[in-house]
């Protein structure tokens, strides 16, 4: 879905939902992960953490979504 517009929606977050409209015109990464990450998933999740400064330098917001509360 690179460079394709998506309809606005809200990302649920404890205390306050985040409307996607806040990211309009900016790079955005949404990643989905299981409630209990499996061993082969953890390195991928950790890469978002490790590369966070690089994403920030690009003005990119990152949101992880799981079934966890």
Residue 25, sorted as left (phi over 0), alpha (psi -120 to 50) or beta, turns out to be: left
Q: What is the pTM of this model?
A: 0.63
10-62 pLDDT, tens digit per residue, is 877 778 888 888 777 888 888 887 777 678 878 888 888 899 999 999 988 88
User: What residue ranges do the domains of the chain occupy?
Assistant: 15-65
2-13 pLDDT, tens digit per residue, is 667 777 778 777
């Amino acid at each position: 879905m690179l460079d394709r517009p998506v309809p606005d929606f809200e990302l649920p977050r404890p205390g306050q939902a985040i409307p996607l409209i806040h990211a309009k015109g900016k790079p955005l990464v949404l990643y989905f992960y299981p409630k209990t990450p499996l061993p082969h998933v953890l390195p991928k999740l950790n890469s978002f953490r490790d590369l966070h400064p690089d994403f920030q330098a690009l003005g990119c917001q990152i949101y992880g979504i799981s079934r966890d509360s």
